Amino acid sequence: MQSSTIRRWSTVHTWTSLICTVFLLMLAITGLPLIFHHELEHLLGEAPELREMPADTPRLDLEQVVLAAERHRPDEVVQYLGWEADEPNGVVAIMAATAGTEPNSSHTFMLDARTGEAVEMPAANGGIMMFFLRMHVDMFAGLPGKLLLAFMGVLFVVAIVSGVVLYAPFMRRLDFAEVRHDRSRRTRWLDLHNLIGIVTLTWALVVGVTGVITATADLLIAAWRNESLAAMVEPYRDAPPLQQRAQASDLLEIARRATPGMVPDFIAFPGTRFSSEHHYAVFMVGDSHVTSHLWTPVLIDAQTLEVTAVGTRPWYMDALSLSSPLHFGDYGGRPMQILWAVLDLLTIFVLISGLYLWWVRRRSVSTARAVTA
């Protein structure tokens, strides 16, 4: 590779790294506890705890669960009901002043599916884990914060690619993983920076790309609403406003009949951003590690309870659904969590060592200029 080409790639690597490093350090630090968020929520007392009851205790009808939610927060409406795999007797309810209230202004809690008893979820409404999540997702700045972090993610990917381009000719002079302990401190740091950077390369690319996709979730959901959802509800475009919704009792059975072999993940009530003004939307998923994150929406008329559409998934919604669990290492249980945490810590070292190398080089250049002046 010619020296002029190396200089250009070096400039790209230096500046893309410098611009995004502070943000990436914040993301790496806040992302570390999020890898173990389930465990930390229980440790910090922020996870809901349902009462112990006999295993054969019957569950409430789904409409009774809705009424229990409305009794718990009588001045609000139900936006979503959802289910978590690790709490089979719990129903997660999300409520707000109106169906269209934006997510950060909603309130999340859990209902016991057997009794209707409401159990608060501090981690979902302002606990320490929610602080880490909001910092990691949008820095408490909403969509502008998400788009800024998406841009930083793009710079991170460019920095990785340019670093690989520079690494290839550099390593022709050294054995793989060689650290020159007999050289200066800067040289030792450079060798460690390059070594750990290349070891974490694939993981960093995966986390960087999935982070960019996740950060653009609002835009992808808006595109889905404007394209797929709009097409599914087109027959209702001129329909009069919904006066009263039908009871939710049979929604799950109706959705199961429409999507054999699938299980419900969550229900979007009429007027929310995942449904329409005239529909319940029941989002069904598969039962494998991968398909459990892929949504198939079943639109059910909120007055007649007739299935009006079973949605297909556009590629970008599949990408979004798969990116978030992959980004946080949710696919492979505890071993994958530990691996993700180790790689996260190594990435923090790469970022800090990169800053150190830039600072030492900058100081050396300044000193040389002063000497020759």
Domain contains 311: no
325 and 190 within one domain? yes
Write down the pLDDT at residue 55: 87
- CA torsion through residues 346, 290, 220, 264, sign: negative
Show the tokens assigned to 285. Answer: 């998923």
Write down the pLDDT at residue 358: 87
User: Which residue numbers in the chain have pLDDT < 50?
Assistant: none
Q: What is the model's pTM?
A: 0.89
Q: What is the pLDDT of residues 196-233, one digit of tens each?
A: 888 898 999 999 999 999 999 999 999 999 999 999 99
264 and 351 within one domain? no
From the list 157, 153, 162, 72, the residue with the least C-alpha distance to 119 is 72
Domain contains 2: yes
Write down the pLDDT at residue 372: 66
Write down the pLDDT at residue 132: 94
Write down the pLDDT at residue 6: 81
**Euclidean distance between CA atoms 22 and 310, whole angstroms:** 44
142 and 85 within one domain? no
- The parent domain of residue 173 ranges over 1-47+131-242+316-373
Q: How many domains does the chain have?
A: 2
Domain contains 310: no
Query: 3-class SS at 57?
Result: coil
**Euclidean distance between CA atoms 95 and 271, whole angstroms:** 12
From the list 151, 103, 118, 119, the residue with the least C-alpha distance to 45 is 119
147 and 70 within one domain? no
- CA torsion through residues 237, 240, 246, 248, sign: positive
224 and 322 within one domain? yes
- Helix, strand, coil content of the chain in percent (nearest 5): 55, 15, 30
Write down the pLDDT at residue 1: 58
361 and 262 within one domain? no
Contacts of the segment 163-169: beta carbons below 8 A, 24+ positions apart: 163/13, 163/17, 163/197, 164/198, 164/201, 165/9, 165/13, 166/6, 166/9, 166/10, 166/13, 167/194, 167/197, 167/198, 168/1, 169/1, 169/6
Mean pLDDT, the chain, whole residue set = 90
